[in-house]
């Protein structure tokens, strides 16, 4: 036993052996071999020490199976020895180090806020850790003489270096029950959720490896492993958790990034191949009838970007392949008019055209805009919504008989009872709000119409091609002239009254105001302002006598629409809301956006929120209210958003500030979720993986060749169901 422990310490990664259990046979009679031994893909609740409750906590981190637990990587590592490097530290540095607790002091500030100071030292220099509003148990927790690991941003206060609200972990052995971790010189640190602790995570992960390490299967062929000198999958997984050389981890992570990209790109490569072989689309002719008519009557000049993009779209629509094109353009870049040109091209070829929006409000808005732009032209249009209402069946009939040329609507358009006479073109606004299935449904409609997906979420140029593997991309990178950029101001919550005063001036000019606060998760114990409390405060105190309304996610769609319509009509002056205010909703008279707890929002979200104002001709204002304490990343986000209105620059920064596997928010922004890869930092790997995947498909599209057996097995097991969705 003594001997084995020594081995564990000497080797970088522990050697796992399968434990023999004597009572196995009795407990699991009648089950297959795999189940008897326990399969690595089983739900994580079956792992010893997990169970129902903890498995729900793990699910919050995206961990559902035992394998996923083993694939849940630490975000950083703790070196257990005290690290004598404090003397080099300066304000502004981001540090993580192990030190000794020298003293602690609990006090109250002049404003009666509880403050805890902790002096920690590496034996030579000292730094102070400070917490405000800290949990009471910290006072017991931090004992003089204990070793502590801290991580955070260094600031300076009265000439003394300080870490404000650092992340920390006490690394005394007492609560490390596991013999294994006690002896490690390096400890992994994981993202946590609910009541999970670092110690519990370490214990569970060790236990998973102890029982299942031998079941970890390779998912890359030897050829690729050799090509990139990858470690085997088992070895790589072990090293991610049990390394004693954290500086080497980045090189190992590369393997996981590669495999993730490789298989997703393989899926898109196969999709493209399938599409090319099996689907023929419509070849539109550039007749220059309706499109010219629209061009002549436009109330403004098209921007150069709009002209370029219309050309790209027309060229694509003239080919006999089905178009699948993403039109990216920042809020207000003028995507609607571009879309309308494409619709008219299809209509002058005798087809029908569709514009689909994610909500009724947006559909209404598009319908109103489009009918206005088409005034005086002989084009029949209709609005199609969900549910049953008066006149709907006549509309459906008119669509089926080809009497209607432009159909604007919600996803009601996709319903199977909607038949088209001949659908030639379909556009999808805010495409990320629709799932892949809905996309596929539309792509398969009628004669395989040409498809245009609209997105206001800017993705860095270099990425969009590869992220949406199957789509061609057009970018509107120019705003129409004479737009006044929104004045963006970051204000501390202590100064909120000044902000309200400035907003009051806008109200007096007849303008309207949005006030947004963050969504509150159940598990959040942080004291946040919630929408209801804020609404009460605003409507009964601050802006008493002004008509206010509250909008939140638990309302029914109908109710939300009603409130939005009243705001749009100017009946409601102040709209207090969670983040549900619709992306794309256009209320030109609104000139002030106040975002409470702005430090809690992602960059893409802040950018979208700001885009709700500044849509009229007047100067607009966006106030970002920061609440103390604020994380370094939170602060960086705020200064980014205040510093630029360029959506692409913001998107780039957004990706930079996110770590790999940080999947909260990815869906919101419409980006697919990757567990290992960071789309910005790992672009080179993406390119390699994409090339390898496309090469493979061009030589063996059905993955039938002997040497591709392993790829085929893994691909169909892990990606088969996803691929079915996109074979259209
Ligand atoms: P988005 O890309 O956010 O959907 P819209 O298509 O709604 O933008 O256009 C935003 C506003 O800009 C609309 O009021 C539209 O009439 C106007 N617009 C579009 N193109 C131009 C242009 N070239 N010059 C002036 N105004 C334009
Ligand atoms: Mg729009």
From residue 11, alpha-carbon distances to 6, 146, 218, 390 in Å are 9, 28, 22, 75
| Rounded distance from Cα 408 to ligand 2 centre (Å) | 13
Nearest ligand to residue 333 Cα: 1
Give the residue, 177 or 158, on which the prediction is more confident: 158
Nearest ligand to residue 339 Cα: 1
| Rounded distance from Cα 669 to ligand 1 centre (Å) | 22
Query: Which ligand 1 atom minimizes the distance to the CA of 586?
Result: 7
DSSP for 277-309, please give it: HH----------SHHHHHHHH-SSPPPHHHHHH
| Rounded distance from Cα 441 to ligand 2 centre (Å) | 22
- Which residue pairs, CB below 8 angstroms and at least 24 apart, start in 158-161? 160/128, 161/89, 161/90, 161/91, 161/127, 161/128
Q: Which two tokens stand for residue 592?
A: 């002030």
Query: Which ligand 1 atom minimizes the distance to the CA of 584?
Result: 3
Answer whether 302 contacts ligand 1 (Cβ < 6 A): yes
Indicate which residue's Cα is closest to atom 13 of ligand 1.
Answer: 334
Question: What CA–CA distance (Å, rounded) separates 472 from 328?
Answer: 11
Give the residue, 457 or 96, on which the prediction is more confident: 96
Pick the range with the lowest mean pLDDT from 300-309, 331-340, 584-593, 717-726. 717-726
Mean pLDDT of 498-515: 96
Query: Which ligand 1 atom minimizes the distance to the CA of 337?
Result: 6
Whether 343 has a pLDDT exceeding 90, the answer reads: yes
Indicate which residue's Cα is closest to atom 24 of ligand 1.
Answer: 480
Confidence of residue 319 (pLDDT cuts 50, 70, 90): very high
Give the residue, 361 or 339, on which the prediction is more confident: 339
Above pLDDT 90, what percent of the chain?
Answer: 42
Q: pLDDT (tens digit, 9 = 90+) per residue, 527-553?
A: 556 788 899 999 999 999 999 999 887
The residue whose CB lies within 8 Å of the most ligand 1 atoms, and thus the one to mutate among 298, 306, 334, 613, is 334
**Confidence at residue 86, expressed as pLDDT on a 0 to 100 scale:** 77
Answer whether 335 contacts ligand 1 (Cβ < 6 A): yes
Pick the range with the lowest mean pLDDT from 133-142, 331-340, 515-524. 515-524
| Rounded distance from Cα 585 to ligand 1 centre (Å) | 13
**Confidence at residue 467, expressed as pLDDT on a 0 to 100 scale:** 59
Pick the range with the lowest mean pLDDT from 105-109, 405-409, 623-627. 105-109
**Confidence at residue 584, expressed as pLDDT on a 0 to 100 scale:** 63
Whether 650 has a pLDDT exceeding 50, the answer reads: yes
Q: pLDDT (tens digit, 9 = 90+) per residue, 230-247?
A: 999 999 999 999 988 888
Whether 8 has a pLDDT exceeding 50, the answer reads: no
Nearest ligand to residue 305 Cα: 1
Answer whether 331 contacts ligand 1 (Cβ < 6 A): yes
| Rounded distance from Cα 206 to ligand 2 centre (Å) | 50
Whether 495 has a pLDDT exceeding 70, the answer reads: yes
Average pLDDT of the chain, as a whole number: 84
5 half-sphere exposure, CB direction, 13 A CA radius:
9
- The CA dihedral of 38, 39, 41, 42, to the nearest 10 degrees, is -30
Query: Which ligand 1 atom minimizes the distance to the CA of 338?
Result: 6
Indicate which residue's Cα is closest to atom 18 of ligand 1.
Answer: 334
Confidence of residue 10 (pLDDT cuts 50, 70, 90): very low
**Confidence at residue 31, expressed as pLDDT on a 0 to 100 scale:** 45
Nearest ligand to residue 476 Cα: 1
Q: Which two tokens stand for residue 428?
A: 């999808």
**Confidence at residue 654, expressed as pLDDT on a 0 to 100 scale:** 79
**Confidence at residue 11, expressed as pLDDT on a 0 to 100 scale:** 43
**Confidence at residue 511, expressed as pLDDT on a 0 to 100 scale:** 95
Confidence of residue 468 (pLDDT cuts 50, 70, 90): low
Whether 9 has a pLDDT exceeding 50, the answer reads: no
Answer whether 370 contacts ligand 1 (Cβ < 6 A): no
**Confidence at residue 23, expressed as pLDDT on a 0 to 100 scale:** 44
Fold exhibited by the domain 487-644 = Rossmann fold (3.40.50)
Whether 727 has a pLDDT exceeding 80, the answer reads: no
Whether the model pTM is above 0.75: no
CATH ID of 81-170, from 2.40.30.60, 3.90.1150.10, 1.10.760.10, 2.40.50.140: 2.40.50.140
**Confidence at residue 2, expressed as pLDDT on a 0 to 100 scale:** 37
Confidence of residue 578 (pLDDT cuts 50, 70, 90): confident
Mean pLDDT of 471-488: 86
**Confidence at residue 157, expressed as pLDDT on a 0 to 100 scale:** 82
Indicate which residue's Cα is closest to atom 23 of ligand 1.
Answer: 302
**Confidence at residue 24, expressed as pLDDT on a 0 to 100 scale:** 41
Environment of ion ligand 2 (residues, CB < 5 A): 584
Q: Where do the domains of the chain lie?
A: 2-75+190-232, 81-170, 290-476, 487-644
Query: Which ligand 1 atom minimizes the distance to the CA of 331?
Result: 3
Mean pLDDT of 19-23: 46
Give the residue, 491 or 583, on which the prediction is more confident: 491
CATH fold match for the domains 290-476 and 487-644: yes
Contact between residue 641 and residue 601 where contact means Cβ atoms under 8 Å apart: no
| Rounded distance from Cα 474 to ligand 2 centre (Å) | 15
Answer whether 329 contacts ligand 1 (Cβ < 6 A): yes
**Confidence at residue 172, expressed as pLDDT on a 0 to 100 scale:** 67
Nearest ligand to residue 458 Cα: 1
Give the residue, 342 or 144, on which the prediction is more confident: 342
Answer whether 336 contacts ligand 1 (Cβ < 6 A): yes
Answer whether 63 contacts ligand 1 (Cβ < 6 A): no
Whether 431 has a pLDDT exceeding 80, the answer reads: no
Answer whether 455 contacts ligand 1 (Cβ < 6 A): no
**Confidence at residue 405, expressed as pLDDT on a 0 to 100 scale:** 97
| Rounded distance from Cα 420 to ligand 2 centre (Å) | 25
Indicate which residue's Cα is closest to atom 5 of ligand 1.
Answer: 334
Nearest ligand to residue 612 Cα: 1
Above pLDDT 70, what percent of the chain?
Answer: 86
Q: Checking phi first, is residue 502 left (phi over 0); if not, alpha (psi -120 to 50) or beta?
A: alpha
Q: Which two tokens stand for residue 89?
A: 């530290």
| Rounded distance from Cα 372 to ligand 1 centre (Å) | 13
**Confidence at residue 65, expressed as pLDDT on a 0 to 100 scale:** 92
Question: What CA–CA distance (Å, rounded) separates 29 from 35?
Answer: 10
CATH 3.40.50.300 given to domain 290-476: yes
Contact between residue 416 and residue 289 where contact means Cβ atoms under 8 Å apart: no
The residue whose CB lies within 8 Å of the most ligand 1 atoms, and thus the one to mutate among 328, 332, 483, is 332
Contact between residue 241 and residue 74 where contact means Cβ atoms under 8 Å apart: yes
Whether 6 has a pLDDT exceeding 50, the answer reads: no
Q: pLDDT (tens digit, 9 = 90+) per residue, 379-398?
A: 999 999 988 889 999 999 99
């Amino acid at each position: 036993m003594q001997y084995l422990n020594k081995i564990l310490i000497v080797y970088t990664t522990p050697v796992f052996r399968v434990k023999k259990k004597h009572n196995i046979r009795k407990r699991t009679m009648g089950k297959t071999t795999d189940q008897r031994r326990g399969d690595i893909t089983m739900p994580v609740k079956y792992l010893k020490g997990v169970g129902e409750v903890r498995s729900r906590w793990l699910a919050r981190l995206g961990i559902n199976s035992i394998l996923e637990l083993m694939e849940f990587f630490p975000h950083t590592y703790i070196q257990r020895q005290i690290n004598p490097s404090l003397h080099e530290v300066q304000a502004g540095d981001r540090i993580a180090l192990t030190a000794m607790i020298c003293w602690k002091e609990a006090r109250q500030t002049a404003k009666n806020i509880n403050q805890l100071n902790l002096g920690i030292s590496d034996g030579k220099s000292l730094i102070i850790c400070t917490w405000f509003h800290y949990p009471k148990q910290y006072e017991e927790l931090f004992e003089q003489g204990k070793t502590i690991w801290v991580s955070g941003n260094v600031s300076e206060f009265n000439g003394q270096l300080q870490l404000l609200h650092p992340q920390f972990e006490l690394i005394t052995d007492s609560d490390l029950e596991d013999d294994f971790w006690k002896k490690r010189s390096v400890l992994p640190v994981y993202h946590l959720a609910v009541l999970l602790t670092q110690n519990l995570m370490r214990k569970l992960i060790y236990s998973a490896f102890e029982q299942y390490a031998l079941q970890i299967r390779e998912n890359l062929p030897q050829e690729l492993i050799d090509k990139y000198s990858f470690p085997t999958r088992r070895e790589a997984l072990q090293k991610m958790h049990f390394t004693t050389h954290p500086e080497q981890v980045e090189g190992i992570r590369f393997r996981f990034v590669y495999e993730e990209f490789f298989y997703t790109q393989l899926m898109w490569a196969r999709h493209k191949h399938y599409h090319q072989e099996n689907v023929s689309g419509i070849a539109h002719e550039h007749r220059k009838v309706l499109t010219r008519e629209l061009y002549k009557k436009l109330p403004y000049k098209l921007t150069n970007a709009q002209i370029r993009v219309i050309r790209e779209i027309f060229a694509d629509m003239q080919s006999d392949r089905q178009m699948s094109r993403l039109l990216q353009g920042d809020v207000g870049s003028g995507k609607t008019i571009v879309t309308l040109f494409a619709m008219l091209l299809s209509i002058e070829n005798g087809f029908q055209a569709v514009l689909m929006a994610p909500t009724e409000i947006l559909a209404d808005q598009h319908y109103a805009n489009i009918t206005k732009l088409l005034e005086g032209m002989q084009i029949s249009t209709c609005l199609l919504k969900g549910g049953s209402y008066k006149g709907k069946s006549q509309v459906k009939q008119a669509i089926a008989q080809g009497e209607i040329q432009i159909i604007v609507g919600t996803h009601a358009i996709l319903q199977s009872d909607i038949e088209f006479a001949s659908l030639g073109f379909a556009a999808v606004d805010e495409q990320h709000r629709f799932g892949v299935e809905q996309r596929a449904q539309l792509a398969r409609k009628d004669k395989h119409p040409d498809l245009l997906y609209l997105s206001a979420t800017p993705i860095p140029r270099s990425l969009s091609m590869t992220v949406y593997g199957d789509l061609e991309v057009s970018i509107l990178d120019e705003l129409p002239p004479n737009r006044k950029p929104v004045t963006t101001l970051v204000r501390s919550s202590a100064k909120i009254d000044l902000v309200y005063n400035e907003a009051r001036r806008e109200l007096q000019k007849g303008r309207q105001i949005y006030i947004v606060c963050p969504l509150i998760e159940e598990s959040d114990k942080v004291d946040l302002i919630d929408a209801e409390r804020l609404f009460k405060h605003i409507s009964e105190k601050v802006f008493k006598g002004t008509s206010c309304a509250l909008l939140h996610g638990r309302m029914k769609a109908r109710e939300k629409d009603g409130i939005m319509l009243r705001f749009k009509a100017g009946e409601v002056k102040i709209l207090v809301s969670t983040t549900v205010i619709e992306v794309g909703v256009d209320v030109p008279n609104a000139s002030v956006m106040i975002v409470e707890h702005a430090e809690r929002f992602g960059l893409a979200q802040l950018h979208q929120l700001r885009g709700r104002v500044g849509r009229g001709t007047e100067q607009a204002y966006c106030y970002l209210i920061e609440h103390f304490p604020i994380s370094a990343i939170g602060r960086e986000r705020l200064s980014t958003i205040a510093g630029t209105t360029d959506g692409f620059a913001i998107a780039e920064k957004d990706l930079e500030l996110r770590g790999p596997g940080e999947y909260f928010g990815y869906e919101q922004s419409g980006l697919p979720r990757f567990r290992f890869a960071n789309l910005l930092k790992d672009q080179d790997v993406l390119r390699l993986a994409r090339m390898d995947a496309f090469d493979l498909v061009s030589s063996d599209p059905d993955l039938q060749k002997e040497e591709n057996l392993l790829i085929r097995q893994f691909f169909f097991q892990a990606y088969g169901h996803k691929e079915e969705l996109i074979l259209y």
